[in-house]
Structure 1
Amino acid sequence: MVGALQLASYRRFVMLFMDDLGHISQWSAIMAGSLAGTVATVVTYPTDVVKTRLIVQNRLEPSYKGILHAFYTIYHQEGFLALYRGVSLTVLGAIPFSAGSFFVYINLNKIWQEPSFRFSPLQNFINGCLAAGVAQTLSFPFETVKRKMQAQSPCLPHYGGVDIRFTGMVDCFRQTVKTKSVLGLWCGLTANLLKIVPYYGVMFSTFEFCKRVCLYRNGYIESPLSYKLIPGVDQSLQPQELQELKFLRRGNFEPPKPTLEN
C-alpha cells in the first residue's frame, strides 16, 4: 500500500513540476520523490504504530488482542495523536530516504553506461535494490528513534518494553547514543535491509514493466519486453492523439457532411 501510494503520488508531483515541454530537472525529480514519500508515510502512519505495538507487546500478558483492538485501545487510552507519535521523525526520515532512492535510481544509467529506457527487468530490479539500500542506510537513524517512540507508552507494562526512557525525539537520540554509542542508531539495519532491498527492487522493476506494457498497448513500442520504438510513430504525441492519427491513416476519416442553410 505504501509503495502504491508513493508511486502514484510521485507521478502526480512529477506532472506538477514538469515544464511546458514535459521535461523535469533532477532536483525537481528529487523533490517529487521526497513529497511522494511524505504523503505515503503520513497516510499510512497509524497502521505502522499499531504494527509496532503488536510486535513489542508482551506475549504472556498481551495488551492488544488484534489490529482493531489495538486501534481502539490506543485511541481511547492515549488519544488520537498517539496514533501519530513519532510522525515528525518519519517525515524527516522519508525525505532523505525517498530523495536518496530516486536520486540513485535516476543516475544509475551512468553505471550501466546506457540510457535507462534500454534497461532490462533484471537491471531495473538491481537498480531498485541499490537505490533502496543506499537510501535506507542514510535514513535508518530516524527509523530507529521512530520505533522507540512508537513503542513507548505509559499505558503499557514497562513502558512498552523500550530499552531506554526518554521524554521526546531529541532526548531519544541522546539516550540512544549515550547508551549504545552512535552505532546504536543503526542497530537492526541488516535485518531491515533484507526486507526493504528486495521490496524496492520488485517495486521498481514492476513499475517499469507496467510502463512498457502501457507504451506497447498504446502503440509506441514493438514489445513490452523492450523499448524498441515503432518506426514512424511520433513519440511526442499523447495516446489519444496517436490513436486519432492511426484512425486517419487507415482511411476511416469521413469528412463532415455539409449542412443545408435556410
Structure 2
Amino acid sequence: MDSDRNIPLAEVTVVTRYYVASSAIHLSAYKKIVHLHMDELGYISQWRAIAAGGLAGIAAALATYPLEVVETRLIAQNCQQPTYKGVLHTLSSIYHSEGLKALYRGFSLTVIGAVPFSLGCYAVYINLDMLWEEPSFRFTPLQNFINGCMAAGLAQTLSFPFETVKRKMQAQSALLPHCGGADVHFNGMLDCFRQVIKNKGFLSLWSGLTANMVKIVPYSGLLFTCFEMCKQVCLYRNGYIVSPLSYQLTPGVDQSLGASELEEVKRYLRNRKFHSQQSTIGNRW
C-alpha cells in the first residue's frame, strides 16, 4: 500500500519539476535569442520574435524532455505492480535498460509540433485588434485573459496530433505491462501515425484534446494576463502611465526619444554586444 500511495506523489513531483525547469529555461533562452536578433534600436520583427519563441521552446524541451518521458511512464505503469518507484528510479531504470535514446524518444515530434503551435499563436495575435476593434494597449485584464486562452486553444488544436503520437512513443516499452498500455504497436514516428489512423481513425489523433484544453487554456490565459499586468506595473512605477490598471499615458511626461537619447541607446547596445563577445572569448580560453 505504501508504494501505491507514493506513485501519485511521484507524478506530482515530476510534473512540478518539469514545468518549473521548462519555464525557466524557456524564458532565459527566449530573452537571449531576442537580444541576438534585435536591431540597434531594440526592434525585432514579429516573425523573428515568433521564431525566437519556437527555438526557445525547443531548447527548453531538449533540457527537460527526459522528465516528460518519466511523467508519461509513471502514468502508464500499473500502480498495483509498479515498475518504477519514483523520478530518479525511473530515469535510472530507463537509461540502464533502454539506453539514453529512450529518454528522448519522440523528441522530433516536439520540434515538428512547434511549427503549427507557433502559427496558431501568431494567427490569434495578428487579429486581436480586429477582434476587439481597438489597439492592444487598451486591452483590459479580462481581454488579455481571453486572448491568452484563444491563442492556447488554437495552438493546441493544431499541434495536438503530434502530442498524441509523442505520448504513445514515450509510453511504449517492452518492460511495462502491455508495452505501456499503448493501444497500437509501431516501429517509429511515421508508423505510429499510420497505425493510429488505420486502427482508430483520423480524428483519434485529437483524442484527449478536451482534457488537455482544461489544463492548458486557463493556464495560458492567466500567464498572459500576469505578463501584461507586470508590464503595466513597471511602466507605472517609472512614471510613464497614470495607473497600473491601464496604459493611459501620464500627462506632461515627455515619452519621446530625443537625438541624444537615441545615440545613448545605440552606444549602450554596442557596448553590451562588445562585452558579450569578450565574455565568450574568455570562456573559450
Q: TM-score range by the shorter chain?
A: 0.7 to 0.9
Q: Superposed, which structure 2 residues align to 1:169-208 within 5 Å?
A: 169-208=189-228
- Residue 141 of structure 2 is aligned to residue 121 of structure 1: yes
- Say which one has the larger Rg: 1
- Residue 235 of structure 2 is aligned to residue 215 of structure 1: yes
How far is 1:190 from its partner?
0.8
Amino acid paired to 2:190: V
* Cα distance in 2 between the residues matched to 1:53 and 1:130: 31
* Cα distance in 2 between the residues matched to 1:65 and 1:209: 41
- Residue 161 of structure 2 is aligned to residue 141 of structure 1: yes
* Cα distance in 2 between the residues matched to 1:51 and 1:158: 18
* Cα distance in 2 between the residues matched to 1:221 and 1:118: 12
Contact 1:126 1:201 in 2 (8 A): yes
* Cα distance in 2 between the residues matched to 1:58 and 1:15: 47
* Cα distance in 2 between the residues matched to 1:35 and 1:144: 21
How far is 1:235 from its partner?
5.0
Give the structure 2 partner of residue 70 of structure 1: 90
* Cα distance in 2 between the residues matched to 1:158 and 1:132: 33
Amino acid paired to 2:206: W
Contact 2:171 2:182 in 1 (8 A): yes
Amino acid paired to 1:232: V
Give the structure 1 partner of residue 176 of structure 2: 156
* Cα distance in 2 between the residues matched to 1:135 and 1:196: 11
Residues 225 and 8 of structure 1: is their aligned pair in 2 closer, same or farther, counting only changes over 3 Å? Answer: farther
Give the structure 2 partner of residue 35 of structure 1: 55
Q: What is the TM-score normalised by the length of structure 1?
A: 0.84
Residues 235 and 219 of structure 1: is their aligned pair in 2 closer, same or farther, counting only changes over 3 Å? Answer: farther
Amino acid paired to 1:81: K
- Tell me the secondary structure at the aligned position of residue 155 of structure 1: coil
- Residue 249 of structure 2 is aligned to residue 229 of structure 1: yes
Give the structure 1 partner of residue 277 of structure 2: none
Contact 2:240 2:253 in 1 (8 A): no
Out of 228-237 and 120-129, give the one that drifted further. 228-237
* Cα distance in 2 between the residues matched to 1:179 and 1:88: 23
Contact 1:38 1:95 in 2 (8 A): no
Amino acid paired to 1:83: L
Q: What is the TM-score normalised by the length of structure 2?
A: 0.78
- Tell me the secondary structure at the aligned position of residue 124 of structure 1: helix
Amino acid paired to 2:129: N
Contact 1:3 1:203 in 2 (8 A): no
Contact 1:37 1:95 in 2 (8 A): no
Gaps of 5+ in 1: 243-262
Deviations 1:71-114 (A, max 9, x none): 12111111222111111111111232134224423431221111
* Cα distance in 2 between the residues matched to 1:97 and 1:129: 13
* Cα distance in 2 between the residues matched to 1:71 and 1:223: 49
Give the structure 2 partner of residue 131 of structure 1: 151
- Residue 79 of structure 2 is aligned to residue 59 of structure 1: yes
Deviations 1:11-33 (A, max 9, x none): 43333333333333232222122
Give the structure 2 partner of residue 87 of structure 1: 107
How far is 1:226 from its partner?
1.1
Question: How many corresponding residue pairs?
Answer: 240
Contact 2:109 2:162 in 1 (8 A): yes
Give the structure 2 partner of residue 44 of structure 1: 64
Contact 1:14 1:24 in 2 (8 A): yes
Amino acid paired to 1:115: P
Residues 138 and 71 of structure 1: is their aligned pair in 2 closer, same or farther, counting only changes over 3 Å? Answer: same
Give the structure 2 partner of residue 253 of structure 1: none
Structure showing the higher helix proportion among its residues:
2
Q: Percent identity?
A: 63
Gaps of 5+ in 2: 1-19, 266-285
* Cα distance in 1 between the residues matched to 2:101 and 2:193: 21
